[in-house]
Amino acid sequence: MTDSERGPDGRPPMSGGVDPAARQPDPPTGGWNAPYGPPGQGYGPTLSYPTPSTGSGSTGLIIAGVLGLLVVLGLGVAIGIVVGRGDSNSASAGASATGKTGTYSMNAVTNACDLVDPTPLTNWSPTPSGAPEHRERRATAYESGGLKCDAGYSSASAGEFPMNKAGMSVEAEFTNGAAAPYYDHWQHADVATPEAESASGAVTGIGNQGYWYSEVRGNLVANMAYVVCVQDGNVSVRVKISLTREQGSPAVRRDELDSIARSQVRRTLDGLREK
């Protein structure tokens, strides 16, 4: 080897043409990651530097995380307020639907006729036809229960109009939860499918909703019926007054029947209202 082939310090150069006297680059902080493959296939050392981390970057991440948590908590509180208001509105709507009456029950009733005052019927027929009949159907797992009272009067056989009769039927049907009130059934039977010579209208001032219905059938002997039906809270009440009037009998005014029927509806509601 000639002097010209030696390096500046007189030592022979290393393979690859690297001068041992020249300063080589320092390895990266994280060390080398140098996978190698077979010679001649382009594999070589690959540098892998760790991501620099500064104090300000960590602080930024912490602040962002705290802000995100506050946003999530705030959203949860807002949702809770909205849901709470919805429940409150629903409760208010339910309370307004039943008014101030609360709920009704027949638990304290042993005889449905205790709720009925049929004495106004004696204005037309003074003689009782017998003891009033009553039926109570207690609530079960399958139905909500109900009650009924039927009272009747006739005229003395020696009277001027012996065929005149008067009767009163008082019914109450209960419902639970979101079930349709029995009032709907009665209204359909009375108003939606009326008889000839009938009339009907709305009843206000009692319960949530109500109607009246009247009809007259017959000529020589007139069969008259007057109904007041009301739904309030979880109960529907229907009062029906029936009159049989011979031709020539004193006239019966509809407002008389209406007053008696409405008074009986109120009496029944008062007797069933939970104290």
159-216 pLDDT per residue, tens: 789 999 999 999 999 998 889 999 999 999 999 888 778 999 999 999 999 999 999 9
Confidence bin at 46 (pLDDT 50/70/90) = very low
Look at residue 265 and tell me if it is in a domain. Answer: yes
Strands 127-128 and 32-33, sheet pairing: unpaired
Give me the residue label for tokens 């949530």: 208
Q: Which residue has the higher pLDDT, 76 or 265?
A: 265
Mean pLDDT of 259-271: 98
Domain that holds residue 233: 112-272
C-alpha span between 120 and 42 (Å, rounded): 116
> What pLDDT score does 219 carry?
81
Q: What's 4's DSSP letter?
A: G
- The structure tokens listed for 272 are 């069933």
* CA distances from residue 126 to 119, 197, 226 in whole angstroms, order as listed: 9, 27, 19
- Whether residue 211 contacts residue 191, with contact meaning beta carbons closer than 8 Å, is answered with yes
> What pLDDT score does 78 carry?
41
Q: Which residue has the higher pLDDT, 71 or 252?
A: 252
Mean pLDDT of the chain: 75
122 pLDDT higher than 70: yes
Look at residue 199 and tell me if it is in a domain. Answer: yes
> What pLDDT score does 36 carry?
34
Mean pLDDT of 62-82: 44
Mean pLDDT of 79-96: 37
Nearest C-alpha neighbor of 252 from the set 128, 170, 165: 165
Look at residue 218 and tell me if it is in a domain. Answer: yes
> What pLDDT score does 244 carry?
96
Look at residue 186 and tell me if it is in a domain. Answer: yes
| Least confident residue range of 90-104, 151-165, 220-234 | 90-104
C-alpha span between 275 and 267 (Å, rounded): 15
Look at residue 122 and tell me if it is in a domain. Answer: yes
Look at residue 23 and tell me if it is in a domain. Answer: no
> What pLDDT score does 16 carry?
44
Length of the chain: 275
> What pLDDT score does 201 carry?
96
94 pLDDT higher than 70: no
Nearest C-alpha neighbor of 215 from the set 250, 188, 240: 240
Strand positions, DSSP E, 25-177: 32-33, 46-47, 127-128, 133-137, 146-154, 165-174
269 pLDDT higher than 80: yes
Q: Which residue has the higher pLDDT, 150 or 22?
A: 150
Confidence bin at 60 (pLDDT 50/70/90) = low
What are 221's strand-pairing partners? 246
Q: Which residue has the higher pLDDT, 118 or 89?
A: 118
Terminal CA-to-CA distance of the chain, rounded, Å?
Answer: 123
| Least confident residue range of 65-79, 190-204, 214-228 | 65-79
> What pLDDT score does 37 carry?
37
Look at residue 70 and tell me if it is in a domain. Answer: no
107 pLDDT higher than 90: yes
54 pLDDT higher than 90: no
Number of domains in the chain: 1
Confidence bin at 92 (pLDDT 50/70/90) = very low
- Whether residue 234 contacts residue 104, with contact meaning beta carbons closer than 8 Å, is answered with yes
C-alpha span between 23 and 40 (Å, rounded): 26
Look at residue 136 and tell me if it is in a domain. Answer: yes
77 pLDDT higher than 70: no
> What pLDDT score does 160 carry?
85
